[in-house]
Structure 1
Amino acid sequence: MNKKGISMILGIIFTISLAGGVKGIKVKAETNNFTVDLSNQYRNVTHVASGSLYGLSDENKPSDDLLMPTKPNVFTQMAPNGGQLPNGEASPTGDALKVAEKAERSGAKINIRFPDMYKDFPYKWISLDDWNSKIDSIVDSTLASKAANIYAYELWNEPNWTWNAKTSGISFNEVWKKTYDRVKAKDSKTKILGPSISLYDEPWLKNFLTYCKENNCLPDIMCWHELGDAKGVIDVQYIEEHVKDYRNLEKSLGINNRQICIDEYGVTTEEAVPGSMIRYFSEFERAGVESACSAFWFRPGRLSNIITEDGNPNGGWWLYKWYGDMSGKMAMTTPVSQTSLNLDGMASVDSSKKTASVLFGGADGDNNILVKGFNSNKFFNNKVHVKVEEAPWYGVDTKLSQAKEVFEGNFNVVDGKINVPVTGMNKSFGYRMTITNKEGYINRYEAEEAVVNHANKFSNEGASNGQYIGQIDYKDSYVEFNVTAKDAGPYNMKIGYANGNSQVSSQKLYVNGDMQADVNYDSTAGWMSSGKSGTKDVQIKLKKGDNKIRFSNSQNGYAELDYIQLSKVAKTFKVRQEAENALINNATVNLSSYGSNDAFVGMINFGDSYVQYNMNVPEGGKYKLEVGYANGESSASTQNLSINGGENKVITFEKTGGWMASVPNMGYRKILNLSVDLKKGDNTIKFSKGNTGYVEQDYIEVTK
């Protein structure tokens, strides 16, 4: 049976109401395949990209308990006794020598940025004599400090646009040579880093390196920045290509390979966002970059915004912490795309701990993580335990006390590999997969491991665990899962399935022998054998301990089963919705790392402008409505709030001191709490332009 159906438009999410709380069919339009090769271990784990620019402010900021777990590699800090005033600080902060000891406690080195002796940026050159006195002061202070963790001297910063030969009366190359010689005469041991241009510019570098080779002043460590292209557009996907091109440039000029430091990376909208940062980590690791520091756009001492204003970890911190947890050898990964922004990640293998770790992110929807190369790592068993966690991004100043569990399950290693589908991903979130030999708690159950009657097991690389159950086509056909619940109560159950028919198919669902409902499966335009699949969400009640969940044929079409995944329903109803995913009229979606999910809605400035959220609640009554917003006006602004099309209520939003996408941003998003009456089921919550000022919308969160 299982006849193939006609194709349909995929990617639509919709909800149906049935007995037993069955709802939410999701069919995926496209599956992204991200590959990890555990057999290709290419370098030691050194946490290459875990440092930051101005990440340290003073001895107490950040606190050691937040700094240490991130295993920072290199910090780029202001020259000793410098004059730079990082954003929002009343006095210079982050003096390289004053924070060197703190960095050393965490295992990190310090790169000293010379031109931070100037208080202005862009720097205001005075004279060569003035510059020489600054050089002498920096090097003499460094030598006197006897700091043991100085990584390099950075002679200048972004000379491709901060150096003006006409106003200074001397070319940058000449100043480089004079500075290089003066520093080396005083300190021949500390390495020199440069030229630190703002983006990879091969013609500029060729001119610079040619001069340096001819004049015996080549930098010990090559440095440029990865802050997007010349227009500031994100181009992280080309970092490996930039490194390859640079190596070819070295070869063409007869220059031995230099270590590469990217001491500023990431554009403003990406700062600390896990799904964005993971792409940089991965590119740097695969390309063989020796060190990298995330850029400074906002405030110092917060490890480039992975710590909230009040000193707590946010979602970005958890990604850096997971990076710090990596040990052993880095294992090669293959991103979904080499030329576009999509799913990427990195992996490590620790043979002493018999563990593999995979960090990934940067894509929405349903994705497959293919892990191969187990055969070359003999310490892994034929069945491995997989745990997947996520680090949500709700904005720079939203605390995340703990990463969230996605699922745990046991996977059979077949032909040296496992395939792990991770559904419902968010491109701004970070994810960690931990692979061990232990068998313990699981909440993801594979259909091929269930009790199967009058149906058959099939194999396909795209299926979870590489196998699934099909031909569940007869009156006595069923698949019965034996599951263990930690607690009694309601559970969300995600069903991985395929329905190759052109119409909806259904199966009967039983929990502990009690009929729940017919579970309806939308068409996936193909069967598992052709890589087609979807997910369906169902809410069921389980007793504490052992439970039986059975799917049987209902004689209404056919469906194949891949897995089920269980998660306890929270005791308190709480739903968060992003403004950019709401119904928007005459307003714009903008990116900002200060926004929840890395985005917000602005320009709600016109008579017909509005943001309308659709919210489904389990019962009628009063709810707490939390609104994330920004009001950069000089006084309070208003918007009109309408619930379910009712009368407008004027809502006042106090000023926040700036707008969400401001640079530097001083934490401009604020929270407003309201009380609203909602009806059972679907509700509309509409914010429209008010009579006074303007307000940007970030998200709402409804709590019973």
Structure 2
Amino acid sequence: MKKKLLSLLSVSLLLLSLPVMPASAAIPATFTVDLANQYRSVTHVASGSLYGLAGEGRPSDSLIAPTKPKMFTQMAPNGGQLPNGETVPIGDALKVAPIAARNGAAVTIRMPDIYSNFPYQWLSWADWYSKVDTMVNARLASGATNIYGYELWNEPDWTWKSAAGTFLDGWKNTYLRVKTLDTATKTIGPSYSRYEESWMRNFLTYAKANNVLPDIISWHELGNTVADTWTIKAHIAAYRQIELDLGISPRPISINEYGVPNEEGVPGGMVRYFAQFEREGVDTATAAFWFRPGRLSNIVTDAGTANGGWWLYKWYGDMSGQMAMTTPVSTSSLALDGIASVDNAKGTVHVVFGGGSGDHTIVIKGFGSVSKFSGNAHVKLEATPWLGVDTAVSSPASVFEGDYAITNGQINVPVTKMNASWGYHLTITPAAGSNNNLYEAENATVNRANLFSNASASNGKYIGQIDYNDSYVQFTVNAAAAGVYNLDVRYANGTNANSNQSLSVNGGTVATLTYPVTGGWLSAGHVGTLSTSVSLNAGSNTIRFTKGASGYTELDYIQLMPKPAYKERVEAEKAEINQAAVHDGGYASEARYVGGIDYADSYVQFTVNAPSAGTYTMDVGYANGTTGNSTHYLSINGGAASIVTYAATGGWINAVPNIGYRKILTLTVTLQAGANTIRFTKGAAGYAELDYIEVR
């Protein structure tokens, strides 16, 4: 079926001579969704957070409800926890329980948070028993119906005090005290700071022997590095084996703290946790607390708005029906992974994924098991960026829409130029779309060229052997309004040198496209994406690709998007760097930044391409953790340096305990048409870290 264009603009069809972006030559890695393997009901197990609720309006219900939280872990009733420099308590479990309830969530009571210090400052058993009695009686008096359970202690492997005896005896004493007062509410533990086989086996052996087994088993998946994410599956399997070995009935698993600090809120990192918790049957999981309370674990900005991470959780909340099995690109390294759901009644499939970079193919199979699908599937792809904790993202970016023919119960959807820190969302419905902007080459008008099939191609088909002077592939696109469009061409050039094609719009001026090599042909899965721009008339337009003067090229599809007003964002870690270092940091845009710009010859040099000569506005994302102003020297295109002054931000981007302090400085700069270099050099006063620049 011919694909139609989403909100295309119009005017004269004139090719623009903008730079062509080079292609990616790697064979796209495959991420697979099996709709026929519907393995559990959608319950949004990983959508909760630790201290995610601070009180009424912190955050607003409009931010909580769309994420469909299942459970929040919160401070004990009348607790005094003041972590990370807080000046007010961080959310009493019973006080926020009504907020959680009206948003469909349960609450865990973290009992040791009744202490004001962390690590907890033990006083005596008499004191602890008094605190336990106070907490349980408050819970009973509250009448709350959405209490998930009592977490008897938190991270006992390092917070339990030897003055209180062994933790195992402490668990038994506390368990029996709680159950004497409240037999109905479940107990949760042991809540070790990490999964350790010997700890868990010893704990369960003791608990079974003393008849004090927790109703819900818990531990934390915080990891020492992001690579530890991939141990979650092994940890759950090992735990289930202990249950079998000891003859313990299966317990619900609550991973009531998860996430490496540098990934907190970052869509491409968090979705890998979602995927493992869902596939391995975890009952609840709450994102860890590394930053500020009342912000759903870092997906709400300091101004109380959604950031890029919130949209990932919102897409998770959009899921309904049954979870569909996913197969990650790798289970031994950090790569693309995600989750999927299928609602048979609605005929809607959601796929949420991230953590990959470059080009990938999303394979969705098993459509035969979903009654509403036959013939074609309409696919919409959205993306959410990670621009830092306190950068609002008002809506995700619309990447493409298209109709895919279902062949043998399967569609193959290429996703190109992925960013590892971003999140992505496919919405798939049976109906043909009216807002498409993706055009398959096999649906175009083809002359002296041939149709081929391959799983690596979009829709499984592409056009090759465009080898003769009169060979061409002509797309008909429909523009709703006048304007300039970004044109992406997915292609293969299996020669050992650049190849050419001629491009004309509505029979007008011919331009030459140059395709870098892709290391092979589409028949072997080698593809690239070339980007340029065109100007389109209102209504119907033709875009023709003709055999060029040198080499050969195969065509898979073209994609058109209205070209926005000029804005170019360049991450500091992708700039030219001298005598400085790149660091990971969840508070930074794309989770990386440049620090250590501390020497006379330290610099960070950005390159931006301005559409014309003139004056531009430039935002600089920075941190100045000193107590006064700091400076850099700023030089544009090698010209005379000016002084940039950075006000103190109260800390560094990764200030302990990973509480970020990035701010934005807005400058006016004069640029030439085309490429410009913008260099920041260590100044005469203080120090500053750089996150990104954005020129507009």
TM-score range, shorter chain: over 0.9
Aligned counterpart, 1:152: 149
Deviates more, 1:316-325 or 1:667-676: 667-676
Aligned counterpart, 1:8: none
Aligned counterpart, 1:505: 499
* Total equivalences in the alignment: 681
Change (3 A) 1:464 1:346: same
Distance 1:557 1:618 in 2: 31
C-alpha displacement at 1:182, in angstroms? 1.0
Matches within 5 A, 1:332-347: 332-347=325-340
Aligned counterpart, 1:474: 468
Q: Give the counterpart letter for 1:346 in structure 2.
A: I
C-alpha displacement at 1:28, in angstroms? 2.8
Distance 1:470 1:312 in 2: 48
SS of 1:98's partner is: helix
SS of 1:378's partner is: coil
Q: Give the counterpart letter for 2:453 in structure 1.
A: S
Aligned counterpart, 1:701: 694
**Partner of residue 62 from structure 1, selected from 50, 59, 64:** 59
Q: Is the 8 A contact 2:652 2:660 kept in 1?
A: no
Distance 1:629 1:660 in 2: 8
Distance 1:456 1:619 in 2: 42
Aligned counterpart, 1:36: 33
Distance 1:254 1:184 in 2: 23
C-alpha displacement at 1:257, in angstroms? 0.8
Q: Give the counterpart letter for 2:333 in structure 1.
A: S
Aligned counterpart, 2:615: 622
Q: Is the 8 A contact 1:297 1:663 kept in 2?
A: no
Q: Give the counterpart letter for 1:51 in structure 2.
A: G
Q: Is the 8 A contact 1:22 1:519 kept in 2?
A: no
Q: Is the 8 A contact 2:27 2:527 kept in 1?
A: no
C-alpha deviations, 1:576-599, integer Å up to 9, x for none? 000000000111111111101111
Q: Give the counterpart letter for 2:543 in structure 1.
A: I
Aligned counterpart, 2:601: 608
Distance 2:59 2:613 in 1: 45
Distance 2:416 2:16 in 1: 25
Q: Give the counterpart letter for 2:82 in structure 1.
A: L
Change (3 A) 1:543 1:88: farther
**Any gaps of 5 or more consecutive residues in structure 2?**
1-14
C-alpha displacement at 1:543, in angstroms? 1.1
Matches within 5 A, 1:653-664: 653-664=646-657
Query: Is the counterpart of residue 582 in structure 1 residue 575 in structure 2?
Result: yes
Query: Is the counterpart of residue 27 in structure 1 residue 24 in structure 2?
Result: yes
Q: Is the 8 A contact 1:86 1:300 kept in 2?
A: no
Matches within 5 A, 1:224-303: 224-229=219-224, 232=225, 234-303=227-296
Aligned counterpart, 1:52: 49
Relative to the length of structure 2, the TM-score reads 0.96
**Partner of residue 121 from structure 1, selected from 100, 118, 125:** 118
Q: Is the 8 A contact 1:298 1:663 kept in 2?
A: no
Change (3 A) 1:349 1:560: same
Change (3 A) 1:636 1:648: same
Aligned counterpart, 1:593: 586
Q: Give the counterpart letter for 1:542 in structure 2.
A: L
Distance 1:80 1:28 in 2: 57
Deviates more, 1:149-158 or 1:553-562: 553-562
Q: Is the 8 A contact 2:380 2:428 kept in 1?
A: yes
Distance 2:658 2:31 in 1: 34
Aligned counterpart, 2:548: 554
Distance 1:233 1:552 in 2: 47
Distance 1:136 1:59 in 2: 27
Q: Is the 8 A contact 2:582 2:595 kept in 1?
A: yes
Change (3 A) 1:124 1:670: same
Distance 1:277 1:246 in 2: 23
Aligned counterpart, 2:453: 459
C-alpha displacement at 1:554, in angstroms? 2.2
Distance 1:434 1:423 in 2: 17
Aligned counterpart, 2:422: 429
**Any gaps of 5 or more consecutive residues in structure 1?**
1-17
Query: Is the counterpart of residue 528 in structure 1 residue 522 in structure 2?
Result: yes
Q: Is the 8 A contact 2:25 2:517 kept in 1?
A: no
Aligned counterpart, 1:636: 629
C-alpha displacement at 1:61, in angstroms? 0.9
C-alpha displacement at 1:515, in angstroms? 3.0
Query: Is the counterpart of residue 176 in structure 1 residue 176 in structure 2?
Result: no
C-alpha deviations, 1:597-655, integer Å up to 9, x for none? 11100000011111000111110111111100000000000011010111111111000
SS of 2:23's partner is: strand
Distance 1:378 1:96 in 2: 44
Q: Give the counterpart letter for 2:253 in structure 1.
A: I
Distance 2:136 2:17 in 1: 73
Matches within 5 A, 1:19-418: 20-21=17-18, 23-165=20-162, 167-168=163-164, 170-229=165-224, 232=225, 234-418=227-411
Distance 1:352 1:128 in 2: 55
C-alpha deviations, 1:135-180, integer Å up to 9, x for none? 0001000000000000000000000111132x33x11000100111
Distance 2:581 2:69 in 1: 37
Distance 1:93 1:508 in 2: 63
Q: Give the counterpart letter for 2:467 in structure 1.
A: D
The answer to which structure, 1 or 2, has the higher relative contact order (CA under 8 A, 6+ apart) is: 2
Relative to the length of structure 1, the TM-score reads 0.95
SS of 1:433's partner is: strand
Distance 1:464 1:141 in 2: 59
Q: Is the 8 A contact 1:59 1:98 kept in 2?
A: no
Aligned counterpart, 1:7: none
Aligned counterpart, 2:676: 683
Q: Which aligned segments of 4 or more residues in structure 1 are displaced greater than 2 angstroms?
A: 18-22, 27-30, 86-89, 663-667
Distance 2:55 2:510 in 1: 60
C-alpha displacement at 1:410, in angstroms? 0.9
Q: Is the 8 A contact 2:24 2:358 kept in 1?
A: no
C-alpha displacement at 1:87, in angstroms? 2.9
Q: Is the 8 A contact 1:227 1:234 kept in 2?
A: no
SS of 1:56's partner is: coil
C-alpha displacement at 1:27, in angstroms? 2.4
